[in-house]
A = this chain, B = another copy of it.
Amino acid sequence: MAKENPQGNKFNVIGKASPRVDAIDKVTGRARYGADHSRTGQLYGAVLNSPYPHAIIKSINTERARALDGIRAVLTHADIPGAKSFGGIVPHQMVLCSGKVRYVGDAVAIVAAETPELADKAIELIEVEYSPCPVVSDPEQALSPSSPLVHEDGNLCAHHKVRKGDIETGFKNSDFVIEHEYTTQKVEHAYIEPEAVLAEPGENGGVTITGSVQNLYSIRRAVASVLNLPLNRVRVIQATLGGSFGGKDEAMSAICCRAALLALTTGRPVKMVNTREQSMRESYKRHPYKMRYKVGVSNDGILQAMEIKIIADAGAYAATSQFVTWRSVVQATGPYVVPHVKTDIYAAYTNNCYTGAMRGFGSPQICFAVESLMDELAAQLGLDPFEMRLRNTLKDGSITATGQKLTHRVTLDEALRNVTSAGGFKAKWLANREQDSASPIKKGIGISCSYRGVSLGAEGADAAGVGISLQTDGSAVVTCGLVDMGQGAATTISLVVAEELGLSSDKIVFLNADTTVMPDSGPTVASRTSFMAGNAARVGSTILKDRIAPVAADMLKCKASALVFCHDFISAGSSRITLAQLAAECFRRGISLSAHGWYKSPKTTWREEDGTGDAYFTFVYGANLAEVEVDIHTGRVIVTKFISCHDVGKVLNINGAKGQVYGGVAMGMGYALLEAYAEEDGQPKLGNFDEYLLPTICDMPQTEVIFLEGDDPLGPYGAKALGEPANEIAAPAIANAVANATGRRVRELPLTLERVLLGKNLIPGRERGSAMAKGAES
């Protein structure tokens, strides 16, 4: 895509501060979320979950439930006409379990009833006889040969590796080597809106599903395979989404398959809405990682070798574990040049709640490890964390761990300089190390940085479509195969169309995604929407504009090249017509006012054998700075200031971009300090938000956002990605700030009161008065 907009460098709307196109709908309550969709005559679905994390199902007796008045269907695995789980060759969550249950979110039976209360009552009347099995709850133990099996083919869910150089040579070249283990916790997406769906029997023997779906096309594939229907008879329509963060994929496939099954069995619309408790019990989470980093460095602070072994808890089912861990393995060395790399990542099945996609997708974990590690190395070397990083960051022409040469402007150093300079990092960092011990409140400052591959990369097929339909009154409908789940995709895509056609963005209605309207554009993940759909919107707009411009030139008696499309007018010199006039004239002349743009990502490569390849077609770079106050009497951490710098290529909407960063920081704060979905022997230790601590707006620090615009040659107007980068390095910046404040390193997230208070890992050189020690510390 060209970097310039059609009017040269002067943009109509791109890069300015635009309100969200759905702002009024949302604040007035007109927006209709999943649970807002109802039909007359609908039934209410309910699910019977397993009380055991691992058990053989000996029998299911639904007789008493069926006998209840007002019950229209009680279904078990035996009633599923097609696949019992949602496709793919790896084990996915079961629609309804048959032989055994593998986690407490597993479903055994479903009910459709005239009222929600009756449905719940029927669920209570279903009798299931279980024979409990030994519970596999630790992923490391799960991989030992003696472990009980969660799945017949073994507990190894995924394994990826990266090999670069020769790891032994790397350690030989090192002046010292340190080795640490970092662990991150399982966290909940915590979308405000729990899973909700309405399934209606279709007119063509199929089914129409409206609900809080993030990835329409994978859900459609799931429903089609479970119901044994062709894809074109399953229509999935996205309701306005109350958050997703990667979470409304397989979790929605499950509820959609169940509701669809009930709807086709009963011939009536079926509504299913999860309570928060159900949602937390069943929906997948972010993978907890146990990460062992062995790193060799030369005396001048140059990284020589990294040997990394990561164990991820996949939980009971695979979901996207294979892809999440792949991004981790690609990016595991962090944004640094490391000549010798050996990385292995394993995902293991356990009887815990399964894990899958969540904002960051395998990066928040490794960012925490690598960015903590860099500070630990700096401490070992007596360097400040900024200097330590600068000596190792990826630069123009650097080769990544997977052997990919970075050919475009690598802005890591610039990002780091921006946050450290704006935050007065070095002086504060040094001063914090010498704080007066009289006050229990200690100040800390920390930084972090990352690089991140944009979009899916070598993970899979990567293309997307945008449809544009101009109306004869100069208004337009824009739609896309990717969804707005709150991140602002509707606004971004609308702005691109507005820019290209010279439309006011309030003249655009953005239609929620619908599988029957738009071709499969892949999942709305991987921070790919602005890039992929933005490019597709430019392609579509260009097609449409090329079609209508000659008519405008004819009306204005000029050359098409002289036309300027701006603010709902088309001008040539001092003459102008409205876009509405042009559209009406095109219609009169029988010219189509509808266009589809399709964009296919540039090529990427991957060799699974040794983990080499050009894994992503472009990368983003970013740095964070956090300031904290730690009460060393209680362990309480307050984030007082945050500076976030991201090279986004080009800001498309400054409001939206800032919003992404604010949200990312808040989510990163939760990850750093509060959130943990704890389980014991496969049983969740909490069930609702009263026990699952989340940051609120009141916890938000003053947050400064700095954008770097690097004019990526591939992105729309140079834009790249922001959604996940904004989130992935917040936690390590906070962790590093806490370490700066306390002199103690906590290698486990979240930094709870207890860990901060009792953390025993003293930072070298922070034993007051002691000389800095060199050598390994574990």
In angstroms, Cα B205 to Cα A475, docked, is: 14
Select which of B224, B473, B516 is within 8 A of A511 by beta carbon: B516
On whether the beta carbons of A230 and B471 are closer than 8 Å, the reply is: yes
In angstroms, Cα B547 to Cα A463, docked, is: 15
In angstroms, Cα B641 to Cα A742, docked, is: 102
Find residues 188-237 in chain A having any chain B CB closer than 8 Å to their own CB. 201-206, 224, 230-233
Select which of B224, B473, B589, B590 is within 8 A of A473 by beta carbon: B224
Chain B residues near A41: list those with CB within 8 A.
Answer: 38
In angstroms, Cα B39 to Cα A233, docked, is: 22
Kindly report which residue of chain B lies nearest to residue A25, judged by CB atoms: B203
A231, A233, A507 — which one has the most chain B CB atoms within 10 A of its CB? A231
In angstroms, Cα B519 to Cα A232, docked, is: 21
A633 within 8 A of partner (CB): no
Q: How many copies does the complex hold?
A: 2
Select which of B462, B520, B589 is within 8 A of A593 by beta carbon: B520
Q: Indicate whether A469 sits within 8 Å of B596 (C-beta atoms), given known contacts A25-B204, A206-B509, A475-B232.
A: no
Binary interface profile of A, 580-611, with partner B (CB < 8 Å = 1, else 0)?
A: 00000001111111111010110000000000
Chain B residues near A472: list those with CB within 8 A.
Answer: 231, 520
Binary interface profile of A, 524-541, with partner B (CB < 8 Å = 1, else 0)?
A: 000000000000000000
Find residues 24-67 in chain A having any chain B CB closer than 8 Å to their own CB. 24-25, 30-32, 38-42
Chain B residues near A509: list those with CB within 8 A.
Answer: 204, 206, 232-233, 516
A420 within 8 A of partner (CB): no
On whether the beta carbons of A205 and B24 are closer than 8 Å, the reply is: yes
On whether the beta carbons of B520 and A477 are closer than 8 Å, the reply is: no
In angstroms, Cα B586 to Cα A752, docked, is: 50
A39, A206, A224, A520 — which one has the most chain B CB atoms within 10 A of its CB? A520
On whether the beta carbons of A519 and B475 are closer than 8 Å, the reply is: no
A105 within 8 A of partner (CB): no
On whether the beta carbons of B24 and A469 are closer than 8 Å, the reply is: no
A476 within 8 A of partner (CB): yes
Kindly report which residue of chain B lies nearest to residue A508, judged by CB atoms: B232
On whether the beta carbons of B592 and A519 are closer than 8 Å, the reply is: yes
| Whole-angstrom distance between the Cβ of A322 and the nearest chain B Cβ | 17
Chain A interface residue number, banded: 35 or more
A465 within 8 A of partner (CB): yes
A461 within 8 A of partner (CB): yes
Binary interface profile of A, 320-351, with partner B (CB < 8 Å = 1, else 0)?
A: 00000000000000000000000000000000
A402 within 8 A of partner (CB): no
Chain B residues near A590: list those with CB within 8 A.
Answer: 461-463, 600-601
In angstroms, Cα B231 to Cα A588, docked, is: 16
A740 within 8 A of partner (CB): no
On whether the beta carbons of B596 and A592 are closer than 8 Å, the reply is: yes
A518 within 8 A of partner (CB): yes
Chain B residues near A233: list those with CB within 8 A.
Answer: 475, 509
Chain B residues near A476: list those with CB within 8 A.
Answer: 232
A240 within 8 A of partner (CB): yes
Chain B residues near A595: list those with CB within 8 A.
Answer: 596
Chain B residues near A596: list those with CB within 8 A.
Answer: 592, 594-596
On whether the beta carbons of B601 and A30 are closer than 8 Å, the reply is: no
A90 within 8 A of partner (CB): no
Q: Indicate whether A461 sits within 8 Å of B589 (C-beta atoms), given known contacts A203-B31, A472-B520, A520-B472.
A: yes
Kindly report which residue of chain B lies nearest to residue A28, judged by CB atoms: B205
Q: Indicate whether A519 sits within 8 Å of B30 (C-beta atoms), given known contacts A204-B509, A590-B463.
A: no
| Whole-angstrom distance between the Cβ of A331 and the nearest chain B Cβ | 23
A17 within 8 A of partner (CB): no
On whether the beta carbons of A201 and B601 are closer than 8 Å, the reply is: no
A517 within 8 A of partner (CB): yes
Find residues 735-756 in chain A having any chain B CB closer than 8 Å to their own CB. none
Chain B residues near A598: list those with CB within 8 A.
Answer: 592, 594
In angstroms, Cα B724 to Cα A348, docked, is: 68
In angstroms, Cα B201 to Cα A518, docked, is: 24
Kindly report which residue of chain B lies nearest to residue A233, judged by CB atoms: B509
Q: Indicate whether A30 sits within 8 Å of B205 (C-beta atoms), given known contacts A39-B40, A520-B472, A520-B587.
A: yes
Select which of B469, B508, B520 is within 8 A of A516 by beta carbon: B469
On whether the beta carbons of B240 and A471 are closer than 8 Å, the reply is: no
Kindly report which residue of chain B lies nearest to residue A202, judged by CB atoms: B30
Find residues 457-493 in chain A having any chain B CB closer than 8 Å to their own CB. 461-463, 465, 469, 471-473, 475-477, 479
| Whole-angstrom distance between the Cβ of A218 and the nearest chain B Cβ | 12
Q: Indicate whether A465 sits within 8 Å of B594 (C-beta atoms), given known contacts A203-B30, A509-B204.
A: yes
| Whole-angstrom distance between the Cβ of A583 and the nearest chain B Cβ | 10
In angstroms, Cα B598 to Cα A592, docked, is: 7
Q: Indicate whether A232 sits within 8 Å of B24 (C-beta atoms), given known contacts A30-B205, A204-B30.
A: no
A201, A469, A472, A591 — which one has the most chain B CB atoms within 10 A of its CB? A469
In angstroms, Cα B30 to Cα A471, docked, is: 33
In angstroms, Cα B465 to Cα A590, docked, is: 10
On whether the beta carbons of B592 and A463 are closer than 8 Å, the reply is: yes
Chain B residues near A589: list those with CB within 8 A.
Answer: 461
In angstroms, Cα B590 to Cα A600, docked, is: 6
In angstroms, Cα B205 to Cα A242, docked, is: 19
On whether the beta carbons of B461 and A587 are closer than 8 Å, the reply is: yes
| Whole-angstrom distance between the Cβ of A439 and the nearest chain B Cβ | 53
Kindly report which residue of chain B lies nearest to residue A599, judged by CB atoms: B590
On whether the beta carbons of A471 and B594 are closer than 8 Å, the reply is: no
Binary interface profile of A, 425-469, with partner B (CB < 8 Å = 1, else 0)?
A: 000000000000000000000000000000000000111010001
| Whole-angstrom distance between the Cβ of A1 and the nearest chain B Cβ | 15
Binary interface profile of A, 342-363, with partner B (CB < 8 Å = 1, else 0)?
A: 0000000000000000000000
Can you list 23 A-B contacts with CB-CB less than 8 angstroms, sorted by A residue number?
A22-B204, A25-B205, A30-B202, A30-B203, A31-B203, A38-B39, A38-B41, A39-B40, A206-B509, A232-B469, A232-B477, A233-B475, A461-B587, A461-B590, A463-B592, A465-B592, A469-B516, A518-B594, A520-B587, A590-B600, A590-B601, A592-B598, A594-B598
User: Which A residues lie at the B interface, using CB under 8 A?
Assistant: 22, 24-25, 30-32, 38-42, 201-206, 224, 230-233, 240, 461-463, 465, 469, 471-473, 475-477, 479, 507-509, 511, 516-520, 587-596, 598, 600-601
> Which 6 residue pairs are nearest across A and B when measured between Cβ atoms?
A590-B600, A463-B590, A519-B594, A232-B475, A38-B40, A230-B475
18 new A-B pairs (CB below 8 Å) besides A232-B476, A594-B596? A22-B204, A24-B205, A25-B205, A30-B204, A38-B40, A40-B40, A203-B240, A206-B509, A224-B473, A231-B472, A232-B477, A232-B508, A232-B509, A469-B516, A469-B519, A477-B516, A517-B517, A592-B596
